[in-house]
Amino acid sequence: MMEKINVIKKIFFLGIVISILVACSQNASGTTVLLPTITTASEGTILSSKLTSTPTPNHILGVTSTLAPTLDSAYQTWHATAIAVQSTENALSDYVFNSKATQIAEFSVECEDLNSYASGISPDGKWFASSCGYKRDQTLIVQNKEGTKWVLDFKKFLNPEDLYNGEPPMGGLYPKFWSPDGEYLYFTSGIGYDGGGDDCFPSSRGHYGLFRINLKTGSWTTLIPPTDSFPGYGIEFSLTGRRYAATIDGVMMTDLNNGDVATINVSGIVEGLSWSPDGVHLAYSVASCGEQSVQSSSVYVRDALTNQTQMLFVATDGTLLKPEAWIDNSTLRIEGGKRVDLDMLYTVYLYDITQNSLLFTNTATPSP
């Protein structure tokens, strides 16, 4: 379900961004079934590396500072690039969805309540993971085309106090990330929630634990124990599969190669996590919120090699900033949302972390 929500949100925001950029353009121009024996491995030692200083922002966005696109050729180049990237992402999203349905048909899927959004196929196409069941009988089924099948029961991945008369709440287990070497599937647990939140509600969260299953043996390991804290954790893997980040005690970065863990202290609510394509830089935002509105919001980038953090810029005008995507290893696209009466004012920023400069920004004005 979480994956479905994230996909829908992603596609929704892509549409918003394209509208923004287009507006700017107009202004400027068979089957053996093997059931696994479930075993749990021990937890590793967590090492911490904390910041010793507060980064200084390179830019401050506020009432007295308005950034706008210019007719400069460099801006126009980045503008055209951003439009091309958005168009490619839209086409890729449609292609991935259709391709996934074709690949699922190659497996003998025994799941009456299969939701293609809450499922995943390994990069080599050999394994399929599906979150199955409804209400109180959720399972995660991980299978290959040769008939090997691992069945994981949702309630075994919850704290005892989360069970009601021995039964789990609404929720399930969901595939999160396949290791590039084809050995593991990382998956998360999620508990259903029906409701809303204020402007600072951390919508990127929803993971209540992180686990890893060995595809050859079916044994699984707990990486992040189940939590009772609402609304759970935000967890994001780098595309290279070497590292993942989680919103635990601020932001926790884990290196899966050597087991090193670095903890980044934050003051506020972490709103988003986004890794650069090379898996070296982690972008995240931190918001400070009052009872009714956003007081300030800042965007940071952490270098996983040097453990140095830089603050890109801060908004003090009620804008909620979130890292949205990386165009390449140095260029970050950031979403800004500001409530104006009953409407949302959306802004797109492109930032070059190597030059410490804002390349482009443009705002969509709400319709009357």
| Upstream peptide bond of 231 is cis (omega within 30 degrees of 0) | yes
Predicted model pTM: 0.72
CATH number of 2-29+31-364: 2.140.10
Backbone angles phi, psi at 21, to 5 degrees: -70, -35
User: In degrees, to the nearest 5, what angle opens at C-alpha 358 toward C-alphas 352 and 361?
Assistant: 120
- Within 8 A by CB and 6+ apart from 44, the residues are 259
Q: What is the pLDDT of residue 8?
A: 41
Ordered by start, the domain boundaries in the chain are 2-29+31-364
Instruction: For 287-312, write each residue's pLDDT tens digit.
Output: 988 767 788 999 999 999 999 999 99
CA 176, CA 234: separation in Å to the nearest integer? 12
Instruction: For 217-247, write each residue's pLDDT tens digit.
Output: 999 999 999 887 777 889 999 999 999 999 9
- How would residue 4 be classed by pLDDT, with cut points 50, 70 and 90? very low
